[in-house]
Chain A
Amino acid sequence: MDASLRGAQRLLGEWIPHPRAADGPGPTLETLPAALESPRLVTPRAVEGPSLRARRVPGDPRSTFGGFLDGTQASRIVTYHDGVPIVFATVAAVIRVRRDRRLATYGQLPEIERCLYVPRALVPARLWEAATTGDYRVVDTGGERGEGGVEEAADSRHPSALIERALQLVRGCRERLEHTLAERWCATERAPLYIDGGLTGSPRVATAACSVGVVKRHRTLYVAADLMPVLTGLRPGERTTAFRIAPARRTAVTSWYLRLRDARGRDPTWGLVRIEVAESAPHDVTERADDVSRWVLAETAPLALPDPRWDTMAYGIRDCEEFLRAIT
């Protein structure tokens, strides 16, 4: 059990007489089974040629990234008050900058936030007031008292709903920290930054020339159903042609798939990443995609083992996670 979680429990012990403390640290809420996002296919707009096809990345892999950005979050239920879960979360993000082939922390300190997630409407006012005067930032997870409310409001009183709401807020907090760091990098550095995940959440990051987002999860595949064989048939060192992604309320980026490792006999998405970069002029797309692909291919060694996602995880990202695990 980490010290900050114990501190939060002690704090709550002062506010709530005889609180029912959660049993030990246990697994974080992020590791518990959650409702899976439905897999889906999205047909993107091609920006490199008329349709999706495979291309061999020309030239040798070239190490160019100057830093790696990743964030972590760990949420735990501290206690229940009248059945209302109170969640304590630690979120952190860090850029590990590469100097002389070794990784070190960028800037003075990583970004770390520790927050209590409390549904204000469902706990006594004195508890909320006491919480807001403590050492931790307190975030209202919403919810309404069920007395005479509508059914939707009644559903939001469900402890699981409250936990999911808290987790969404924690995720948003982590993304905010990651964006803060990425924006800081883009404002001051010229070397490319390897970002674990997509870029579309931050307009400044999504439009910066130095940021490269690498997505490892593929619940949503940006490929038309009839072109799926092109994607699954990618061989190591091959990429798809680039396409444009423009989620609602997010910034559009240029993206493509890149096969890092031989997936023969494995899941078709094994060793497959999707890369996001800022949009560029159409005649620059191919050169840009080839360049960035060479950079990403250069990060396939050393392996990120023993992380189970080692087929798609760069060692620099694993280093970020290990670093954050050590300090949070």
Chain B
Amino acid sequence: MNGRDGVVVSPIGRVVATERRPNTPHEFHFWTALDATVGIGTIVRVVGAHPVGGQLPTVYGVVVEGYSYTDLQSPLHDVLGHDGSPARAAFAATERTEIRLYTAAVLRHVPEEPLQPVPMGEVFLADDADVACALRMDAYLRDGSNTGIPVGVYHAGGTDAPIYVDADFLLGPEAAHVTVTGVSGLATKTSAVEWLLASIFTHFPASKGTVAAVCFNVKGPDLCFLDQPATELSESDLALYAQLGVPPRPFARVQYFAPYTARGFALNTLRTHEALAHNTMPLVWGLQDVMEFADVLLTREDIDAKADALIDFIREDVVGHRFTDDRLPRTYEVQSFSDLNAWFADVLRTMEQSNVESWRTHHIATIRKIRNRLSNIAQRCAGLVTNDGISRDLPWGSFADRTVYVIDVANLEEDAQDLIFARVVSTLRKRLEQRDLGVDHVIVFVDELNKYAPGDGPDTYVRKMLLDVAERGRYLGLVLFGAQQFRSQVHRRLIGNAGTSLFGRMDGDELATPGYAVLSPAIKTKLATLEKGQLMVRHPHFTQPVFVRFPRPAVLSGREGAERFPRSAEPSLEVAVTRSLRVLDPSITLEWVKQVTGIYEPHEILRARTQTELARPNDVRAFFKSQFRAVVPGRTVTRPPVPPALRSAPVDDPYGT
């Protein structure tokens, strides 16, 4: 048969069918020569011998199972034939007739109608054009309306065909969301997402709007060096980058956010090296930021109807408002946890003095409980939540196109992680609804979905929020990229709503769960033995999963980054302040900072630093100094003049002692 470019192409197999193993419209069988370059995952093209409706039917399929056997009817015959000696078998003059029989799942029929069983015919290896047609990529790779995002290269039988997923089905609105599943430690999940983000940033069509990514770094230094180039990319990696049209460069625009440590001197992240400070920013929230998400930090036992009512009252009427009450001694403007504490204290004191048990329908016990729970938020999330109400936040409203915002929550307590997830994702959603985020699409990457959206366990705020994103986010442009080791343990609605699924090397136990029953044993075996850099891709346009190779991300890996940019030991207060201010003014020295801050309390110094970082003034030194309270100049205390002594009593005066 002539190929598309006129070159004669030889068939690599023939379709076969028997009564016991017939072909269907969805599955067929074919045999090949023993040396044919066909394997599990290979895409093939079948050309029927007889026209249907005036057209020769063409069927595309992907190999899902393979068999090999000889004409031997019983293993015993082989034993007899070689006198029970395996070594003698090697000297047999002739090898038995052997078959390579494959089962393929149908990807596409051309023409689509009438849908008939796969005809007998010759089988060819799929070339680039065949792969595009088989996976229905031709529908979205048309000139002028190309929405293809390269996800990897299909490699089989000498064919290296780029595989594209449809942006409309990756980032919405048709479908959206991605889940990545794979065992830990093989750099599959994080690498796949880093690669896919790079590909999206390069190929996402301008006509579809702008896109940014918010990544939660939940463990180790995985995502801490996205702006640093990889140490060395292999020739094969570079070839993949060239073939897929993605520059092998780290992300050009990355911003890092991390809360402070509990002491507040340094950021609680592995990215504390001074050379990386320019785009590593603090994430600090005050009362007003947190209040809306207080539920996240309260247990189910805390939030009964009464507590909920009081929290709503505080949220609606107290925090951020001018609050007055006839029974309270003054007017309140609650902006920080300190203000809230003072307000609670006055309320409770007033009730005790009045000897009443309820205030504005709220029982004193409820008020005491909520005061206790809310007051310790700042302690439970120390470093993230501040008492003074000053907020350092993501650049809401000015998100930039093709920018990655990494929030490092790896070293935080679970409460603080939950709070960050909840607030960031909710705010993203709200902003996208209001169309004032700064970009049209946001990809949220969350690793360890097993933990944050498990299939069983309590219905947490974070899980509800993730489910909401999965079910409704695509209409807003809010897309979830989730990764997990055990897909079977992630909530079904979250998995079910993911339009695209990527699978790296899988654990055998995981593959034995019912969720993988649709995969053939051979596909499961292949999944259990996938090499690094290989993925199985499921996408709405693909009738069957397809295996691809993707290049190593062009960013510094977490492990290498941690070695090259070792984490600094937590500095002294003065050193921490110096580092922060040097980002704004490199001329600032440690001596100058010591001189300015020498007489002030730590919380005052940290407050001054925060205000300076927020204001980003031209004259950093002057602004920083101006943040401190004025101190009255010191005075030398002199001894007051001693008044003249009274006359002493006579020595013999009997009344003088």
Interface of A with B (CB < 8 Å)? 63, 65, 98, 101-103, 298-303, 305-306, 315-316, 319, 322
Q: Is B97 an interface residue (CB 8 A)?
A: yes
Q: Which of B88-96, B173-181, B586-594 lies at the binding interface?
A: B88-96
B93 touches A98 (CB 8 A): yes
Distance in angstroms from B167 CB to nearest chain A CB is 50
Distance in angstroms from A316 CB to nearest chain B CB is 6
> What class of interface size applies to chain B in its complex with A?
10 to 19
List 29 interface pairs A-B (beta carbons < 8 Å), by A numbering: A98-B93, A98-B94, A101-B95, A102-B34, A102-B94, A298-B93, A300-B81, A301-B81, A301-B82, A301-B89, A302-B77, A302-B78, A302-B81, A302-B92, A302-B94, A302-B96, A303-B77, A303-B78, A303-B80, A305-B73, A305-B74, A305-B80, A306-B77, A315-B94, A315-B96, A316-B94, A319-B94, A319-B97, A322-B97
CA distance A65 to B93 in the complex (A): 9
Name B70-105 residues within 8 Å CB distance of A. 71-74, 77-78, 80-82, 88-89, 92-97
A322 touches B71 (CB 8 A): yes
**B34 to chain A: closest residue by CB:** A102
B97 touches A103 (CB 8 A): yes
A301 touches B93 (CB 8 A): yes
Distance in angstroms from B81 CB to nearest chain A CB is 4
9 A-B pairs besides A63-B93, A300-B81, A316-B94 with CB distance below 8 A are A98-B93, A101-B92, A299-B94, A301-B82, A301-B88, A302-B81, A302-B95, A305-B72, A315-B94
Q: Contacts of B77 on A, CB cut-off 8 Å? A: 302-303, 305-306
Q: Contacts of B89 on A, CB cut-off 8 Å? A: 301
Q: Which of B73, B80, B94, B96 has the most CB of A within 10 A?
A: B94
Interface of B with A (CB < 8 Å)? 34, 71-74, 77-78, 80-82, 88-89, 92-97
Where chain A touches its partner, the secondary structure class is mixed
CA distance A186 to B78 in the complex (A): 33
CA distance A315 to B96 in the complex (A): 8
Q: Contacts of B72 on A, CB cut-off 8 Å? A: 302, 305
CA distance A316 to B89 in the complex (A): 16
Q: Contacts of A306 on B, CB cut-off 8 Å? A: 73, 77
Q: Which of B72, B73, B78, B96 has the most CB of A within 10 A?
A: B96
CA distance A65 to B92 in the complex (A): 13
CA distance A306 to B78 in the complex (A): 11
5 pairs of A and B residues whose beta carbons are closest in the complex: A63-B93, A303-B81, A305-B77, A301-B81, A302-B81
CA distance A26 to B215 in the complex (A): 73
CA distance A98 to B94 in the complex (A): 8
CA distance A319 to B522 in the complex (A): 31
B95 touches A102 (CB 8 A): yes
A101 touches B73 (CB 8 A): no
Q: Contacts of A101 on B, CB cut-off 8 Å? A: 92-95
CA distance A101 to B73 in the complex (A): 20
CA distance A101 to B97 in the complex (A): 10
Distance in angstroms from B192 CB to nearest chain A CB is 42
CA distance A162 to B56 in the complex (A): 47
B81 touches A103 (CB 8 A): no
Q: Contacts of B96 on A, CB cut-off 8 Å? A: 302, 315
Q: Contacts of A301 on B, CB cut-off 8 Å? A: 81-82, 88-89, 92-93
CA distance A298 to B82 in the complex (A): 11
Distance in angstroms from A279 CB to nearest chain B CB is 27
Q: Contacts of A300 on B, CB cut-off 8 Å? A: 81
**A300 to chain B: closest residue by CB:** B81
CA distance A306 to B82 in the complex (A): 16
CA distance A101 to B95 in the complex (A): 6
**A62 to chain B: closest residue by CB:** B93
Q: Contacts of A102 on B, CB cut-off 8 Å? A: 34, 94-95
CA distance A150 to B77 in the complex (A): 57
Q: Which of B74, B89, B97 has the most CB of A within 10 A?
A: B97
Q: Contacts of A298 on B, CB cut-off 8 Å? A: 93
CA distance A322 to B99 in the complex (A): 14
Q: Contacts of A315 on B, CB cut-off 8 Å? A: 94, 96
CA distance A282 to B266 in the complex (A): 105
CA distance A319 to B478 in the complex (A): 64
Q: Contacts of A98 on B, CB cut-off 8 Å? A: 93-94
CA distance A298 to B92 in the complex (A): 7
Q: Contacts of B74 on A, CB cut-off 8 Å? A: 305
Distance in angstroms from B15 CB to nearest chain A CB is 16
Q: Contacts of A299 on B, CB cut-off 8 Å? A: 93-94
CA distance A326 to B92 in the complex (A): 25
**B95 to chain A: closest residue by CB:** A101
Q: Contacts of B94 on A, CB cut-off 8 Å? A: 63, 98, 101-103, 299, 302, 315-316, 319
**A102 to chain B: closest residue by CB:** B95
Distance in angstroms from A49 CB to nearest chain B CB is 30
Distance in angstroms from B643 CB to nearest chain A CB is 127
Q: Contacts of B93 on A, CB cut-off 8 Å? A: 63, 65, 98, 101, 298-299, 301
Distance in angstroms from B326 CB to nearest chain A CB is 102
